[in-house]
Amino acid sequence: MFCAANTGRLVTKHEIAKKCNASENHLAQVINQLAQLGFLHTQRGRNGGLELGRPADQIVIGEIFRALEAPVPLAECFADVDNTCPLTNSCRLRTALTDAANAFYATLDPITLDALICDNVGLLNLLGPDGSCGRDTSKPELVTG
């Protein structure tokens, strides 16, 4: 969200940590994951930093959560390795939990990063340098669908 509120420039891990009251070590891990998945672009060096890997209106929140959270098993029976649960073949809980997780992600699928940031004055005032989301608001946004 910080990168989306600061488009057009590279931001630093230190800036994000300071504004969001987060650990730089934890941020480094998250930034690395998001960069590997293509959500962020990083640039090393003295003038380095990070920026969105693609436009905010093309980053789907459900996609981010699936990529970062879906591999975590909700219960032992979800693990492909080391599953010793004797109920796995007969238990219906796994299906119910899978359906619930899929419903959670499906709820996030229509939401883009742009939708979370733009027109959110309170958030932009906290995260953005000028209180804008970087979108050219002089032109009306086209809504399709």
76 vs 20, residue with greater confidence:
20
pLDDT of the residue at 142: 41
pLDDT digit string, tens, across residues 41-99: 999 999 999 999 999 999 999 999 999 987 666 777 777 677 888 888 888 888 888 89
pLDDT of the residue at 72: 66
Asked whether the predicted pLDDT for residue 103 surpasses 90, the reply is: yes
Asked whether the predicted pLDDT for residue 125 surpasses 90, the reply is: no
Please tell me whether the overall predicted TM-score, pTM, comes out greater than 0.75 for this model.
yes
Q: What is the 3-state secondary structure (H, E, C) of the chain?
A: CHHHHCCCCCECHHHHHHHHCCCHHHHHHHHHHHHHCCCEEEECCCCCEEEECCCHHHCEHHHHHHHHHCCCCCCHHHCCCCCCCCCCCCCCHHHHHHHHHHHHHHHHCCCEHHHHHCCCHHHHHHHCCCCCCCCCCCCCCCCCC
pLDDT of the residue at 131: 57
Query: Structural domain boundaries of the chain?
Result: 1-59+114-128, 60-111
Class of domain 1-59+114-128: mainly alpha
> How many other CB atoms are there within 10 angstroms of residue 45's CB atom?
6
pLDDT digit string, tens, across residues 23-37: 999 999 999 999 999
Nearest-angstrom CA–CA distance, 62 and 105: 5
Confidence of residue 134 (pLDDT cuts 50, 70, 90): low
Asked whether the predicted pLDDT for residue 130 surpasses 80, the reply is: no
pLDDT of the residue at 93: 86
Asked whether the predicted pLDDT for residue 135 surpasses 80, the reply is: no
